């Protein structure tokens, strides 16, 4: 069957005209409604799949910038709608969320994450969400703050002035230690090395499939790549099952996340079985360290290019924290650090695209969306839209200091998703990022070894750097 090269925009509908308003304080006229136009780019026999593979971020940007806020394209055999406006995002994630499930590319993670919170749907998802929510209560997060700072400090003790480190790997090391301790409540030793070893294999597996027709290949097909991936999954889940079994057998309480999950009960008094625990723990291990490590990596790159912002960050830390270790109580007062993290996630959202698949005929913006259509929400392009952010491509943390979050349209900023499926660990990640950022800035400045060489974003499952990011450490004198 030949694959049609269909790629067209919807026409007309309720959103065909834009109503303009003046937005304070800048006074810039901005459209309050999405734009829908009539022209679209054309693809070849695979539609725009080859272009997505070459430059996914550029494709999303061109679609939403040049062709409107609701763009119909084709990726291989799959009809796709690219959504680039907050009100349309709200329709997909909130108003009509029951018309959608996770997209195929997201569901492919099922061989790794099972039916964990990221992938489960419907009543089962709601049950699991309610079971897990107490583990991320504010008071419990505050108790985890000490572990976060201790894990960062442990790594910093190995750093020396003048050394060059691949900062992306260093951030992964810190966040891996944090997730291991907060999840399992113990030093894992060789088990931590198992997580280090398996994570790159899994990332490479999904990278090789994400933007190609290989996404349709079952993981069970015994190719060399699939066999490496299956071995890595078995290796990691062996660790998880062993810890669950040991904890059940001993009855030991460690006040960690595994402890919370083991003790959780639904309204019928039922807890999670071992498979459900396995799926949720695998999700927390992998999603819980990778996303924060990436955000911190991008933060250090941006700060290295903006020494004035870096200077304000250090001045704030000196004033509020000084030489003592930062705590959870410091985080609300570290307003500039919060702004740095918010601005980093605006420019480099870890979830650069959010995929859904329609399970029935539905509508977006008054336009018909057929059952089986993939909907791509594009935080990457929404976060850089001049209708919502002035100088959208510039790193300006100060934009968050004057109430911008309250003025923005809902879903114009969605680094952790939106609606009822917003990331359950968002507060954990924000706390972790600010405490680690502060702990490092107290002791070191990080300089790019070659500031003229661009650090290229690499959209895989999450938004990574295409290559390692070598940075030189400069010790900060401690008063």
What's the per-residue H, E or C state across 330-354?
HHHHCHHHHHHHHHHHHHCCCCCCE
Domain CATH for 171: 1.10.630.10
**Residue 430 is assigned to a structural domain of this protein:** yes
**Residue 7 is assigned to a structural domain of this protein:** no
Half-sphere exposure of 475 (CA within 13 A, CB side): 11
Rounded to an integer, the average pLDDT of 276-305 is: 91
Is 8's pLDDT higher than 70? no
- What was the pLDDT predicted at 33? 66
- What was the pLDDT predicted at 159? 97
- DSSP annotation of 157 reads T
Is 30's pLDDT higher than 70? no
Task: Count CB-CB contacts under 10 A for residue 99.
Answer: 20
Q: Say if residues 358 and 63 touch (Cβ distance below 8 Å).
A: no
Give yes or no for a cis peptide into 294 (omega within 30° of 0). no
Beta bridge partners of 79: 74
- Domain with 287, as residue range(s), is 20-475
Banded model confidence at residue 187, pLDDT cuts 50, 70, 90: low
Q: Say if residues 438 and 174 touch (Cβ distance below 8 Å).
A: no
Question: What pLDDT digit, counting tens, does each position of 369-409 carry?
Answer: 999 999 999 999 999 999 999 999 999 999 999 889 999 99
Which residues, other chains included, contact 250 with Cβ-Cβ below 8 Å and sequence gap of 6+? none
Is 218's pLDDT higher than 60? yes
Which residues, other chains included, contact 431 with Cβ-Cβ below 8 Å and sequence gap of 6+? 141, 144, 145, 148, 328, 331
For the chain, give the percent of residues with pLDDT over 70.
90
| Helix%, strand%, coil% for the chain, nearest 5 | 50, 15, 35
Rounded to an integer, the average pLDDT of 88-116 is: 90
**Residue 411 is assigned to a structural domain of this protein:** yes
Beta bridge partners of 457: 465
**Selected residue with higher pLDDT from 206 and 292:** 292
Q: Say if residues 424 and 132 touch (Cβ distance below 8 Å).
A: yes
**Residue 364 is assigned to a structural domain of this protein:** yes
Is 28's pLDDT higher than 80? no
Structure token digits, residue 464: 């990574």
Rounded to an integer, the average pLDDT of 48-70 is: 90
CA distances from 394 to 57, 352, 469 (A): 17, 17, 20
Structure token digits, residue 15: 């959103």
Structure token digits, residue 72: 């119909």
CA distances from 343 to 128, 348, 386 (A): 31, 8, 15
Q: Which residue has the tokens 């499926």?
A: 421
Q: What is the pTM of this model?
A: 0.88
Banded model confidence at residue 425, pLDDT cuts 50, 70, 90: confident
Structure token digits, residue 315: 């001045």
Of 31-45, 197-211, 421-435, 446-460, which has the strongest mean pLDDT? 446-460
**Residue 179 is assigned to a structural domain of this protein:** yes
- What was the pLDDT predicted at 311? 96
Determine which of 122-131, 249-258, 293-302, 409-418 has the lowest per-residue pLDDT on average.
249-258
**Selected residue with higher pLDDT from 37 and 46:** 46
Banded model confidence at residue 253, pLDDT cuts 50, 70, 90: confident
Rounded Cα distance between 87 and 436, Å, is 34
Q: Which residues of 111-135 are buried (b: 16+ CB within 10 A; e: fewer)?
A: bbbbbbbbbbeeeebebbeebbeeb
Rounded Cα distance between 240 and 282, Å, is 7
Dihedral sign for Cα atoms in the order 19, 416, 434, 446: negative
Q: Say if residues 27 and 40 touch (Cβ distance below 8 Å).
A: no
For the chain, give the percent of residues with pLDDT over 90.
50
Is 10's pLDDT higher than 60? no
Q: Give the DSSP H or E segment for 175.
A: helix 167-184
Number of domains making up the chain: 1
Q: Say if residues 373 and 70 touch (Cβ distance below 8 Å).
A: no
Banded model confidence at residue 117, pLDDT cuts 50, 70, 90: confident
Task: Count CB-CB contacts under 10 A for residue 57.
Answer: 19
Q: Give the DSSP H or E segment for 364.
A: strand 362-364
Rounded Cα distance between 401 and 337, Å, is 11
- What was the pLDDT predicted at 37? 54
Tell me which residue of 293, 318, 270, 301 sits closest to 441, measured CA to CA.
Answer: 318
**Residue 1 is assigned to a structural domain of this protein:** no
Helix, strand or coil, per DSSP, at residue 36? strand
Q: Which residues of 466-478 are buried (b: 16+ CB within 10 A; e: fewer)?
A: eeebebbbeebee
Banded model confidence at residue 257, pLDDT cuts 50, 70, 90: confident
**Residue 10 is assigned to a structural domain of this protein:** no
Tell me which residue of 177, 130, 122 sits closest to 154, measured CA to CA.
Answer: 177
- What was the pLDDT predicted at 229? 87
Rounded to an integer, the average pLDDT of 105-111 is: 84
**Residue 11 is assigned to a structural domain of this protein:** no
Is 160's pLDDT higher than 80? yes
Banded model confidence at residue 20, pLDDT cuts 50, 70, 90: very low
The rounded mean pLDDT for the chain is 86
Helix, strand or coil, per DSSP, at residue 463? strand
Structure token digits, residue 437: 């950022």
Banded model confidence at residue 39, pLDDT cuts 50, 70, 90: low
- What was the pLDDT predicted at 384? 97
Rounded Cα distance between 94 and 71, Å, is 20
Question: What pLDDT digit, counting tens, does each position of 328-366 carry?
Answer: 999 999 999 999 999 999 999 999 999 999 999 999 999
DSSP calls for 217-256: S-TTS--HHHHHHHHHHHHHHHHHHHHHHHHHHH----SS
């Amino acid at each position: 069957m030949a694959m049609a090269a269909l790629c067209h925009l919807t026409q007309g509908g309720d959103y065909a005209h834009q109503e303009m308003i003046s937005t304070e304080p800048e006074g810039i006229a901005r459209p309050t409604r999405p734009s829908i136009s009539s022209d679209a780019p054309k693809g070849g026999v695979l539609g725009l799949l080859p272009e997505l593979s070459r430059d996914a971020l550029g494709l999303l940007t061109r679609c939403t910038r040049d062709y409107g806020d609701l763009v119909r394209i084709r990726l291989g055999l799959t009809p796709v709608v690219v959504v680039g406006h907050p009100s349309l995002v709200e329709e997909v994630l909130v108003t009509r969320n029951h018309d959608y499930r996770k997209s195929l590319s997201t569901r492919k993670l099922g061989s790794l994450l099972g039916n964990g919170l990221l992938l489960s749907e419907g009543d089962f998802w709601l049950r699991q969400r309610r079971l897990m929510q107490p583990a991320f209560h504010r008071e419990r997060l505050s108790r985890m703050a000490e572990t976060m700072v201790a894990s960062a400090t442990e790594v910093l003790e190995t750093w020396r002035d003048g050394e060059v480190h691949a900062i992306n790997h260093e951030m992964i090391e810190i966040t891996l230690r944090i997730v291991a301790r907060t999840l399992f409540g113990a030093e894992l030793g060789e088990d931590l090395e198992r997580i280090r070893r398996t994570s790159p294999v899994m990332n490479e597996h999904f990278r090789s499939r994400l933007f190609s027709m290989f996404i349709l290949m079952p993981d069970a097909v015994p190719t060399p790549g699939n066999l490496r991936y299956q071995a890595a999954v078995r290796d990691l889940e062996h660790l998880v099952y062993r810890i669950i079994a040991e904890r059940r057998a001993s009855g030991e309480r460690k006040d960690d996340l595994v402890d919370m999950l083991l003790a959780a009960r639904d309204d019928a008094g039922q807890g999670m079985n071992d498979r459900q625990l396995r799926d949720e723990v695998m999700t927390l291990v992998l999603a819980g360290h990778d996303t924060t490590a990436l955000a911190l990596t991008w933060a250090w790159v941006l700060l290295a290019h903006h020494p004035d912002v870096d200077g304000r960050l250090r001045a704030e830390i000196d004033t509020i924290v000084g030489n003592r270790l930062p705590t959870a109580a410091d985080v609300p007062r570290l307003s500039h650090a919060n702004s740095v993290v918010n601005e980093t996630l605006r420019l480099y959202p870890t979830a650069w695209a959010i995929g859904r698949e329609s399970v029935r005929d539905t509508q977006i913006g008054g336009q018909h969306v057929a059952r089986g259509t993939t909907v791509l929400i594009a935080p990457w392009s929404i976060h850089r839209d001049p209708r919502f952010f002035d100088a959208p491509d510039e790193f300006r943390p100060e934009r968050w200091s004057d109430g911008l979050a309250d003025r923005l349209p809902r879903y114009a900023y969605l680094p952790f998703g939106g609606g009822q499926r917003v990331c359950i660990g968002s507060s954990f990640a924000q706390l972790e990022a600010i405490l680690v950022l502060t702990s490092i800035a107290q002791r070191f400045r990080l300089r790019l070894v070659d500031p003229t060489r661009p650090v290229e974003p690499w959209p895989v499952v999450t938004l990574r750097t295409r290559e390692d990011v070598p940075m030189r450490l400069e010790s900060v004198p401690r008063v």
